[in-house]
A and B are shown apart, each in its own frame.
Chain A
Amino acid sequence: MTDKNLIDQNLNQDGIDRRGFLKCMAWAGTGLVWTLSGGIPVSRAFAKNSGKSTDFTFAQISDSHMGFNKPANPDVVATLQAAIDKINRLPNPPEFLLHTGDISHLSRPEQFDKVDQILKSAVAKDVFFVPGEHDVLDDNGKSYLERYGKSAQGSGWYSFDKNGVHFIGLVNVMNLKSGGLGSLGNDQLEWMEKDVKHLKHSTPIVVFAHIPLWTVYPEWGWGTEDSAQALGYLKKFGSVTVLNGHIHQTMQKVEGKVTFHTAMSTAFPQPQPGKADSPGPMKVPAEQLRSVLGITDVNYVRGQHSLAVVDSTLG
């Protein structure tokens, strides 16, 4: 009798065959793994020991909506904690976290406090934030900036470098115009142009912002009006990864050297574009909730121009 755990066809010499691939996918949850090799997306198995030395990994969480308590998820504290626990157990522990906004549900101090408290249980001690529209209510982002914008400019944009990768945190949820989409604004765009001007073309770039920087579904405001200008400043770079949240589901798009990716929420799912009247919280049977919430793990391998972006659900 054949042992189902043995590899019988190691065609790509990567230590996995089709059956093993499928088993791996089942283990990893959604197991969406994309890397770009020479500009062509290649899906690979998410294996614990890939054999390649990974320079570093970081994790993205999004849309924790602390304070939300409606039927779609009566306990966003528990699901955020589950997300952090999952990140802590990742095979290659992330060095830091990105939170792509809607940290709180109503910009209230106790909601921000609660998220900060839960994040203390993350093994990764550094967390980098960008605000969502739920984080800048009533006070024009003042309390968000006091907490998370100490080294930021304007409404909270900033950049930093980690292991040769340049990270750019953008804010596209301020001063939204009636009938419009997300917006970066001229001040921020001017800053960004200067910020990347002198970087070498070989520097991998990671841009993170709350609302998608590509037009996912304009009817629901899922896009950013002036993102084309921002992306224009990044044309010279060989590897650009754009990480967003806001839509509470994973979506991926590759355009030349730019990979766009949106994360799941840790709080509640939202419907797919056009599949409901409005983009509000989507109720699923309680036992399915954790299968539509999740985290994103991003692996950077030095020498590879691509970042491997892996989504996994909470349950």
Chain B
Amino acid sequence: MTNKNLRRAFSAMPLIIALFVFAGSSSVSANDQPPSQAAEVKIDNFSFGPQTLTIPAGSTVTWTNRDDIPHTAVSTDGAFKSKVMDTDEKFSHTFATPGTYAYYCTIHPKMTGKIVVQ
């Protein structure tokens, strides 16, 4: 880019940023729902913590395995299915639709959990 064009590009930036800010805020105000969150489930000692997690629709849940043995997180109704997570590995899933999602570890099926999406 030439210097002149560069200056033009930079001077347009505040306008562009302002446009994004206004666009962002207008979509938030049009929505009655709370903003989506990033939520966490920690896997340790053969259990999901918290065992029941309640989140707003659109949130992304990240499972992190802190146990010294691999685990999975697989929903009972086919909604999501992680690959095996070894220690410190993660799996994320975004829950767009409200509902209750029961899941378990397919390696140790006595480990169960629930995501409640509101």
Give 6 A-B contacts (CB < 8 Å), ordered by A residue.
A70-B68, A105-B70, A138-B83, A179-B104, A180-B110, A181-B109
Q: Mark B84-114, 1 if CB is under 8 A from A, else 0.
A: 1011000000000000001110111110100
- Is A278 touching B109 in the complex (CB atoms < 8 A)? no
Residues of chain A at interface, number, CB under 8 A: 24
- Chain B residue nearest in CB terms to A182: B109
Q: Which of A72, A106, A176, A178 contacts B68 (CB 8 A)?
A: A72
Contact of B65 with A by CB under 8 A: no
Contact of B33 with A by CB under 8 A: no
- Is B110 touching A281 in the complex (CB atoms < 8 A)? no
Contact of A219 with B by CB under 8 A: yes
Q: Which of A107, A219, A280 contacts B69 (CB 8 A)?
A: A280
Q: What residues on A are CB-neighbors of B83 within 8 Å?
A: 137-138
A228 to B8, CA, bound (A): 80
- Is A178 touching B84 in the complex (CB atoms < 8 A)? no
Q: What residues on B are CB-neighbors of A176 within 8 Å?
A: 106, 109
- Is B45 touching A178 in the complex (CB atoms < 8 A)? no
List residues of A (150-189) whose CB comes within 8 Å of B's CBs. 176-181
Q: A residues touching B (Cβ–Cβ < 8 Å)?
A: 70-72, 105-107, 133-134, 137-138, 176-181, 219-221, 277-281
- Chain B residue nearest in CB terms to A179: B112
Q: Quick one: which of B45, B76, B109 has the most chain A CB within 10 A?
A: B109
- Is A179 touching B86 in the complex (CB atoms < 8 A)? no
- Is A278 touching B112 in the complex (CB atoms < 8 A)? no
Q: What residues on A are CB-neighbors of B70 within 8 Å?
A: 105-106, 134, 137
Q: What residues on B are CB-neighbors of A180 within 8 Å?
A: 109-110
A245 to B87, CA, bound (A): 23
A178 to B78, CA, bound (A): 12
- Is B86 touching A280 in the complex (CB atoms < 8 A)? no
A137 to B106, CA, bound (A): 9
- Is A278 touching B45 in the complex (CB atoms < 8 A)? yes
- Chain B residue nearest in CB terms to A132: B107
- Is A220 touching B110 in the complex (CB atoms < 8 A)? yes
| Given known A-B contacts A72-B68, A179-B112, A280-B67, A137 and B46 have beta carbons under 8 A apart | no
Q: What residues on B are CB-neighbors of A72 within 8 Å?
A: 68
Q: What residues on B are CB-neighbors of A281 within 8 Å?
A: 68-69
- Is B109 touching A280 in the complex (CB atoms < 8 A)? no
| Given known A-B contacts A72-B68, A137-B84, A280-B69, A178 and B104 have beta carbons under 8 A apart | yes
- Is A106 touching B108 in the complex (CB atoms < 8 A)? no
Q: How far is the CB of A265 from chain B (nearest CB, A)?
A: 13
| Given known A-B contacts A134-B70, A137-B107, A280-B45, A178 and B86 have beta carbons under 8 A apart | no
A181 to B110, CA, bound (A): 7
Q: Quick one: which of A133, A178, A221, A279 has the most chain B CB within 10 A?
A: A178
A201 to B23, CA, bound (A): 80
A134 to B109, CA, bound (A): 13
List residues of B (31-70) whose CB comes within 8 Å of A's CBs. 45-47, 67-70
Q: How far is the CB of B76 from chain A (nearest CB, A)?
A: 5
Q: How far is the CB of A272 from chain B (nearest CB, A)?
A: 16
- Is A277 touching B106 in the complex (CB atoms < 8 A)? no
- Is A134 touching B47 in the complex (CB atoms < 8 A)? no
Q: What residues on A are CB-neighbors of B68 within 8 Å?
A: 70-72, 280-281
Q: What residues on A are CB-neighbors of B104 within 8 Å?
A: 178-179
Q: A179-B110, A179-B112, A280-B69 are in contact. List 10 more A-B contacts (CB 8 A).
A: A70-B87, A72-B68, A106-B70, A133-B108, A138-B83, A176-B106, A220-B110, A280-B46, A280-B67, A280-B68
Q: What residues on A are CB-neighbors of B46 within 8 Å?
A: 277-280
Q: What residues on A are CB-neighbors of B109 within 8 Å?
A: 176-181, 221
Q: How far is the CB of A68 from chain B (nearest CB, A)?
A: 8
- Is B76 touching A178 in the complex (CB atoms < 8 A)? yes
A133 to B111, CA, bound (A): 14
- Is B45 touching A133 in the complex (CB atoms < 8 A)? no
- Is B86 touching A106 in the complex (CB atoms < 8 A)? yes
- Is A277 touching B112 in the complex (CB atoms < 8 A)? no
- Chain B residue nearest in CB terms to A180: B109
